Amino acid sequence: MINSDEQETDFGFTRVTRQEKTEKVREVFDSVASRYDVMNDLMSFGMHRLWKRHTVSIAKLRQGSKVLDLAGGTGDVSRLLAKSMNGTGTVILSDINQPMLMLGRDRCIDENLAQNIVCVQANAQYLPFADYEFDLVTIAFGLRNVTDKDQALREIYRVLKPGAKLLILEFSELKLASLTSTYDKFSFDILPKIGKFVANDADSYRYLAESIRTHPNQEKLMEMMFDAGFERCKYHNLLGGVVAIHEGLRL
């Protein structure tokens, strides 16, 4: 029998073992952490900030809620979530990558939100939280980097309270055929060059472009959510499907 860590999975367009993927993804974000926010602005022309605000608005959080922001990186979504509750709730900012998490912690301190945001280094596949703990789980632009997405979705389901929601904001499948060639040129030609110029790292941004293409498309991800136990799953596309927001409830 093959050990699960030895089974192959995608790392961009390359096939690697699951253990190798976890290590390689960590290396990518170790490399780009200090320039991550700048690169996000350049990659999305600043639109990632609007997408994140829209995702938080969909959450419709009640005052005093407890929220888990998975793969939260430098804390953009965590800070928006905390602000939406006017200082009455708790947001767990979680990421597997320590340098990213430390940047997120510093930004929370800078915005006087440290009393409402707790940083926890954790793997989305093995969440160190109790069953039925959270009113909401969010994961923005992080699920495609998770080695075993099905296991992560099951873990998210486990830690949500009955009636609570999962929100996934992620790059997805472009549905506008007329823009495909332009989108591909930007992803595989221009983006690595920007990464080389800004972060001195073309390879990491080439991987990020590849990881978008190998990530499950809208329908497949919704199917995976149903399989993990979520109900009333749905999604809506942003920018013609370049990005999609998926919702699912634990009932």
Element (H, E) at 21: helix 18-32
User: What letter represents residue 21's amino acid?
Assistant: K
Q: Which residues contact 126 (CB under 8 A, 6 or more apart)?
A: 155
Q: Residue 15: inside a domain, yes or no?
A: no
> How many other C-beta atoms lie within 10 A of the C-beta of residue 3?
9
Starting at the edge strand found earlier in the chain, the sheet holding 160-171 runs: 117-121, 90-95, 66-70, 134-140, 160-171, 243-250, 231-238
| Tens of pLDDT, residues 91-147 | 999 999 999 999 999 999 999 999 999 999 999 999 999 999 999 999 999 999 999
Residue 210 is assigned to a structural domain of this protein = no
Confidence of residue 12 (pLDDT cuts 50, 70, 90): confident
Instruction: Summarize pLDDT for 144-172 with one digit per residue, the tens.
Output: 999 999 999 999 999 999 999 999 999 99
8 Å CB contact between 142 and 110:
no
Domain that holds residue 230: 37-172+215-250
- Residues of the chain with pLDDT > 90, as a percent, come to 74
Asked if residue 18 belongs to a domain, the reply is no
Q: How many residues does the chain have?
A: 251
Please state which of the ranges 47-56, 124-133, 191-200, 226-235 shows the lowest mean pLDDT: 191-200
User: What pLDDT is stored for residue 97 in this prediction?
Assistant: 92
Residue 197, domain member (yes or no): no
Mean pLDDT of the chain, nearest integer: 92
Which residue in 91, 236, 79 sits closest to 169, CA to CA? 236
**62 domain-assigned:** yes
In a domain, 60, yes or no: yes
Residue at 142 is within a domain:
yes
Q: What does the DSSP 8-state code read for residue 4? A: G
Please give the backbone phi and psi of residue 123, each rounded to the nearest 5 degrees, phi first: -90, 130
Identify the pLDDT of residue 84.
96
| 56 pLDDT more than 90 | yes
Is 3 a member of any domain?
no
Percent of the chain with pLDDT over 70: 98
Helix/strand/coil for 79: helix
Q: Domain holding 231: CATH number?
A: 3.40.50.150
pLDDT higher than threshold 70 for residue 2 = no
Q: How confident is the model at residue 1 (pLDDT cuts 50, 70, 90)?
A: very low
pLDDT digit string, tens, across residues 171-212: 999 999 999 999 999 999 998 998 888 778 888 889 888 999
Mean pLDDT of 33-52: 84
Residues in CB range of 3: below 8 A, 6 or more apart:
none
105 phi and psi, to 5 degrees?
Answer: -60, -45
Tally of structural domains, the chain: 1
Q: What DSSP element (H or E) covers 72? A: none
Q: What percent of the residues of the chain are helix, what percent strand, and what percent coil, each to the nearest 5? A: 50, 25, 25
